[in-house]
Amino acid sequence: MLEGFIYKMLLFLVIAVLCFNVRSETQLEVGFYGETCPLAEFIVKDEVIRGFTKDRGVAPGLVRMHFHDCFVRGCDGSVLIDSTSSNKAEKDSPANNPSLRGFEVIDNAKARLESECAGVVSCADILAFAARDSVEITGGIGYDVQAGRRDGSVSIASETSTNLPPPTSDFDQLTQLFANKGLTQDEMVTLSGAHTIGRSHCPQFTSRLYNFDTTTTQDPSLDSNYAETLKQQCPQGGIDPNTVVPMNPTSPITMDVSYYVDILNNRGLFTSDQTLLSSEQTANQVSQNAGNPLLWGRRFAAAMVKMGQIDVLTSDEGEIRLNCRITN
């Protein structure tokens, strides 16, 4: 009798948890602001285009920002919050500063939206829209963004180190960090393709050039000619922390599959890039993506939508920040 009761209670709890997770995702919907702020997505896209016209690095910056937002506390806009005298926020962690950029695009979009429809559009949704628009203007990959996220009020720099994949991640570490967010290995390989645009500061990868391990100075998995090029850009002993190199030298401002081609040629910039060849399954996917841009585009769009659902705040959770840099 008691065992039957316990079984029923456990079953009830499992169903309740599943329903909660589904509720969080299904409360996001395409066209969420259709009635309350119909120009929302247009305004965000306009600001992304304006920012991109001034600085093409804005697009990869916004894609990266959305990724870093979703992997820490979920897609709640916490990466946008400024530090205070009593709290160091996510954006000022070593994982985000100085690599993240494009904050001014979010600020400008938010200011216009507050003028158009005050207190309606969340900063988390603005960032999700901006990332989608950045993908589209750099590679033509378009997708609908489900909206309805609300903004978090907590941003802690130290949480980035346990949630964001560092560029030194090996295969198992990378797989686990993505799995922690409900993302598969296939989605890990797909989303890593965002490294086809953007840049990196030298300290993020120079260990592969000068201090790989106790017996080898240079990572043997790195193409020797590419390594020499990187050494010229980031010389040992004289590395300027502000020096940047393109993550994909072939087409650094175009969303395409050359990232995967580079990996197949041992020209992945980070350990976390080249490690995608560590298993037969992921290596096969790298090859598929390299040879089929349309397939990768479809996969990437779907993976971005799924990533945008990670631990979202909806309904009466969180808030709608009036200024994306500070909580209400």
* pLDDT 10s digits, 12-44: 544 444 444 434 445 899 999 999 999 999 999
Q: Are 80 and 127 in contact (CB under 8 A)?
A: yes
**Looking at residues 249-270, what average pLDDT do you find?**
95
At residue 3, the pLDDT reads 53
Query: What value, to the nearest 5°, has the Cα angle with vertex 269 and ends 265 and 272?
Result: 100
Q: How many CA atoms lie within 13 A of 176 on its CB side?
A: 8
Question: Could you say which of 45, 64, 66, 68 is catalytic?
Answer: 68
| Helix (DSSP H) and strand (DSSP E) numbers for the chain | 14, 4
- Specify the DSSP class assigned to residue 153: S
Annotated binding residues for Ca(2+), written as ranges, equal 69, 72, 74, 76, 78, 90, 196, 256
Binding residues for substrate: 165
Q: What is the predicted pLDDT for the residue at 212?
A: 87
The alpha carbon of 45 is separated from its chain's Cα centroid by a whole number of angstroms, namely 18
Active-site residue, 68 included: yes
Binding residues for heme b, as ranges, are: 195
Say if residues 191 and 179 touch (Cβ distance below 8 Å). Answer: no
- Give the residue with greater pLDDT, 6 vs 111: 111
Is-contact 36 120, C-beta < 8 A?
A: yes
Structural domains in the chain plus CATH codes: 29-163 (1.10.520.10), 171-307 (1.10.420.10)
Average pLDDT over residues 92-110: 96
CA distance 43 to 110: 9
Task: Name residue, tokens 């769009």.
Answer: 301
**Joined tokens for residue 186:** 């296939």
Name the least confident of 74-83, 92-101, 122-131.
92-101
pLDDT tens, position by position, 76-97: 999 999 999 999 999 999 999 9
Give the annotated binding-site residues: 69, 72, 74, 76, 78, 90, 165, 195-196, 256
Give the predicted TM-score (pTM) of the model: 0.90
**Alpha-carbon gap, residue 146 to 305, rounded angstroms:** 7
Residues 197/248, Cβ–Cβ less than 8 Å: yes
CB 204 within 8 A of CB 241: no
Q: What value does the mean pLDDT take over residues 261-281?
A: 97
Q: Is the pLDDT of residue 48 over 90?
A: yes
Higher pLDDT: 198 or 242? It is 198
What is the distance between the alpha carbons of residues 242 and 249, in angstroms, rounded to a whole number? 18
